[in-house]
Structure 1
């Protein structure tokens, strides 16, 4: 039955389009925002000791471009449209992710920080579901053969990098919530330290615990922590007023140290692998796809 793949192609495209125009300021909510309601302005108002330099957010360009390529290429190829990574891995979760992310924009813009944190958590849950489902498909069903590089980069990587960055964004949103609630400097430092510890633990699991190392999360975590430490090299006045020099130096040390460890761990793990791109999916997908198309054609 080819109904679900075709429906997914349409719904994913519509949801992605809505999320994109909302994110870039042309959506039903963001088009009505004032100049002071953009993400940068709100983030500056609720500056945390983990708020990264603005360049860090340029990763959204890569996320949207990679997902656009996935959305565009899927209906153009029967192989990709009925690919298990899309039909069973992504399924309808991506639609839910896009809707939650679309709702997050006005919540954050209107400084509903608690609501924005909840929505960010929902976005993360949807992306984690996609990543886990895709990982299990690769590992449990077709781990003996290799996925083509084009299928990995088009069908799996866009969701891995999105999930990785949203994890960092969720951590940041929690720290913003702590600032909004008026927590003192000591509590904010503890929250920041716990947040970095969480990123460290997840990175360790992705690189060392799971059967097939997942490099994307550790790479994105390294990117985030680098720009966190860079921002603290010349801290904003709000940071100087809130934290003492020792607290700032502690977070700089932690972010720089974690970044260095993640980069080194990624390099060492990749060098030890013969197929570093999360390979392990079967070329049986091609045969399954052809069979699926042929059966669908006969039914029609």
Structure 2
């Protein structure tokens, strides 16, 4: 009973934090903060790693996902009165991520770029903690746990990982750093290689294919942005995206028996943990 009460409190905290993050993001786009929108500042500190503008539409999917995730926690703990180990395992880390997300918007729009980097790193570290605590994607969970918990967290974490690289690059642009002795071009290539490597590693070590699909999305957007003017960046970005995609498809085929859709169709109605 104590466990359930604790999880109920955490589920409410997580839902409030999600609404806070979504609310701040929505307000900043509709009414602006400090006279700016997120895209305004992105354009101001534009750099070669910045993807095509459409890439940022992924926030819509992320917000829908985490709203479903938070709602599912409340449903499980209040309506069904069923404990959910995942809630205890993530503790306050998920709420911290959403708090940092909202604060990041404010820091970004007031052009406190170093503060925005710190907040982005805080989100990234919190995601790492969640992934390690839950051991997500490394055990045969019920279909509902995969769809309503693992996938929203994986997609969110995947974008924050790419965004962290972009945020650091934007901060370096603000302080006038242009790649040092290697130049901005080679710095961008290094960032593309790093993003590709991180996503391949996360598939190999954690089987987090949804995380890696976000990496594909971002790298394709970098390719599209530079397709007509800088093929020497566009081609490596597309190569990295295809490399990740092939690995994702290969892992998906090899682990097809754990596909949540197939699990559900085969009668897996277990709510699990």
Instruction: Normalising by structure 1, report the TM-score.
Output: 0.79
Give the aligned partner of residue 85 of structure 2: 84
Give distance in 1, aligned partners of 2:216 and 2:160: 14
Q: 1:154 aligns with which of 133, 138, 148?
A: 148
Give the aligned partner of residue 252 of structure 1: 234
Query: What does residue range 227-242 of structure 1 map to in structure 2 within 5 Å?
Result: 227-234=221-228
Q: 2:196 aligns with which of 166, 175, 200?
A: 200
Q: Secondary structure at the match of 1:275?
A: helix
Measured against aligned partners, the alpha-carbon deviations of 1:221-274 in whole angstroms (never above 9, x if no partner) come to 110000011011245xxxxxxxxxxxx332112101111111122112222223
Give distance in 1, aligned partners of 2:197 and 2:32: 40
Is the 1:175–1:188 Cα contact (8 Å) retained in structure 2? no
Structure 1: segments with no counterpart, 5+ residues:
236-247, 290-300
Give the aligned partner of residue 64 of structure 2: 65
Structure 2: segments with no counterpart, 5+ residues:
none
Give the aligned partner of residue 225 of structure 1: 219
- 1:263 matched to 2:245: yes
Measured against aligned partners, the alpha-carbon deviations of 1:267-295 in whole angstroms (never above 9, x if no partner) come to 12222223354999xx9x857x7xxxxxx
Give the aligned partner of residue 210 of structure 2: 216
Is the 1:73–1:80 Cα contact (8 Å) retained in structure 2? no
Deviation at 1:61, TM superposition (A): 0.8
Q: Alignment length, in residue pairs?
A: 261
- Structure 1 residues 261 and 200, CA, compared in 2 at 3 Å: closer, same or farther? same
Query: What does residue range 112-131 of structure 1 map to in structure 2 within 5 Å?
Result: 112-131=112-131
Give distance in 2, aligned partners of 1:275 and 1:224: 28
RMSD of aligned alpha carbons = 2.6
Please identify runs of 4+ aligned residues in structure 1 that moved more than 6 A.
Answer: none
Give the aligned partner of residue 164 of structure 1: 158
Give distance in 1, aligned partners of 2:91 and 2:210: 21
Instruction: Normalising by structure 2, report the TM-score.
Output: 0.86
Give distance in 2, aligned partners of 1:34 and 1:131: 35
Q: Secondary structure at the match of 2:207?
A: coil
- Structure 1 residues 105 and 268, CA, compared in 2 at 3 Å: closer, same or farther? same
- Structure 1 residues 149 and 256, CA, compared in 2 at 3 Å: closer, same or farther? same
